[in-house]
Amino acid sequence: MAERLSYVIIGNGIAGVTAAETLRQEQPSAEITIIAETPTPACHRPALKDYLAGRVSEEALFARRPSFYADKGHELRSFAAGNRRALAPPDLSRQ
């Protein structure tokens, strides 16, 4: 039986999403977890000014549709800005 590989990608930007897509193509059965500050898909940040000005729709802001993670079988874990310690490994020297 083939070994099931697990990957963790830090970051939900274009690079992180592209890495997840590439891994899924190369390893269809792999477990892929993306860790990001926001629970939403990667967005085109330069387009924010156009969205706020009413020139583009909300859908145009996102690099992938909202169901991207579920559709591809990726797990998305998000954390509140400023609470990065929640992702840090425990300090084993204090035990």
Q: Is the pLDDT of residue 91 over 70?
A: no
pLDDT of residue 37: 83
pLDDT in tens, 66-77: 788 888 888 888
- Domains belonging to the chain, first-starting first, are 6-79 (3.50.50.60)
Cβ atoms 35, 8 nearer than 8 A:
yes
pLDDT in tens, 13-66: 889 989 999 999 999 999 999 888 877 778 888 889 999 999 999 888 888 887
Cβ atoms 15, 38 nearer than 8 A:
no
Q: How sure is the predictor about 95, in pLDDT bands with cuts at 50, 70 and 90?
A: very low
Q: Is the pLDDT of residue 3 over 70?
A: yes
- Name the residue with higher pLDDT: 91 or 4: 4
- Which positions ≥6 away from 29 have C-beta within 8 Å? 2, 4, 5
